[in-house]
């Protein structure tokens, strides 16, 4: 199996990972926009109903006035118009809040705001936790597949150099050639770490906000994260850079055995 054919699945897998991350991020935004649109439609229907009721009450009042009803008889109709006008104003206020805030947050009572805020934070924490776990799995999978492909790529490079009589059969692949794959692993690991750190930062922010509510509406107090924020920031580095470090250590292990300890063993190509 030659290097180009082995490398092709890795490219497809990397593209799949990028597409998955993009869909996760855009999917969360679409859900928010759809929720905002649904609430705005509901508030708009309330406005339409309130306006129809106001028009009906105003029509009844006009009919009584045209019929020459006395002032005492007009009082109940006038009260109904005032009540309908108040409902229409409230419906307009709720619609404006739904459009500007996306959730009608301004139209809620203090207790409703507390409950809604806690609900949002817990939903965001769960969503970020899924993103972190999924991205970790995909990142490690891509790096592991790349490491496997590097074995065949280096095998081809070693066979080529032996055929060109530039190295002996039992010699290691030169470090300059080996390091190309290690650097590529490190660059890809850095990309995954940067994405992971962004997710972790959002997750930590939402947890701090939830903890600051001191139990909020439900009374469930959020406990501090084990290990603190610093440890959770270091974890992505440890996970993603394990394979590049092991890749470099693999070459160093055989180099020490062949050159320093003068032991006759080599990489099983």
For residue 269, being part of any structural domain is answered with: no
241 has pLDDT over 70: yes
106 has pLDDT over 60: no
91 & 146 share domain: no
Average pLDDT on 229-239 reads: 71
Alpha-helical segments (H) within 164-241: 175-211, 228-240
Of 34 and 27, more confident: 34
Average pLDDT on 52-70 reads: 81
231 has pLDDT over 50: yes
CA pair distance 4, 236, nearest whole angstrom: 30
129 & 249 share domain: yes
Q: Among 18-22, 96-100, 162-166, 205-209, which stretch is predicted with the lowest mean pLDDT?
A: 18-22
Average pLDDT on 15-32 reads: 56
For residue 11, being part of any structural domain is answered with: no
Domain edge (last residue) among 65, 81, 107: 107
For residue 19, being part of any structural domain is answered with: no
Domain edge (last residue) among 56, 76, 107: 107
Domain edge (last residue) among 84, 107, 130: 107
201 has pLDDT over 80: yes
Q: Is residue 224 very low, low, confident or very high in pLDDT (cuts 50, 70, 90)? A: low
Q: Which of 110, 84, 113 is nearest to 101 (CA)?
A: 113
CA pair distance 2, 171, nearest whole angstrom: 21
Burial 28-38, CB ≥16 within 10 A → b, else e:
eeeeeeeebee
172 has pLDDT over 80: yes
Predicted local distance difference test score (pLDDT) of residue 229: 54
Q: Among 135-149, 183-197, 217-231, 241-255, which stretch is predicted with the lowest mean pLDDT?
A: 217-231
Predicted local distance difference test score (pLDDT) of residue 210: 86
68 phi/psi in degrees, rounded to 5: 75, 30
For residue 1, being part of any structural domain is answered with: no
Chain CA centroid to CA 258, Å? 47
């Amino acid at each position: 199996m030659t290097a180009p054919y082995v490398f092709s699945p890795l490219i497809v897998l990397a593209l799949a990972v990028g597409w998955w991350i993009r869909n996760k991020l855009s999917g969360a935004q679409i859900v928010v926009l759809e929720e905002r649109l649904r609430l705005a439609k509901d508030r708009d229907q309330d406005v339409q109903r309130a306006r129809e009721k106001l028009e009906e009450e105003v029509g009844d009042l006009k009919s009584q006035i045209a019929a020459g009803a006395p002032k005492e008889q007009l009082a109940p109709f006038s009260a109904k118009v005032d009540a309908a006008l108040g409902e229409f104003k409230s419906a307009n206020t709720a619609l404006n809040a739904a459009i500007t805030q996306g959730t009608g947050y301004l139209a809620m009572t203090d207790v409703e705001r507390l409950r809604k805020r806690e609900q949002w934070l817990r939903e965001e924490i769960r969503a970020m936790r899924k993103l972190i776990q999924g991205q970790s799995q995909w990142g490690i999978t891509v790096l592991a597949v790349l490491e496997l492909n590097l074995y065949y790529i280096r095998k081809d490079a070693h066979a080529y150099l032996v055929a060109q009589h530039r190295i002996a059969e039992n010699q290691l692949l030169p470090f300059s050639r080996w390091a190309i794959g290690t650097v590529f692993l490190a660059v890809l690991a850095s990309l995954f770490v940067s994405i992971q750190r962004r997710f972790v930062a959002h997750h930590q922010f939402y947890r701090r906000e939830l903890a600051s509510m001191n139990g909020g509406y439900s009374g469930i107090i959020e406990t501090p994260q084990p290990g603190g924020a610093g440890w959770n920031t270091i974890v992505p580095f440890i996970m993603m850079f394990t394979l590049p470090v092991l890749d470099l250590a693999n070459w160093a292990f055989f180099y020490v055995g062949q050159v320093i300890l003068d032991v006759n063993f080599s990489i099983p190509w």
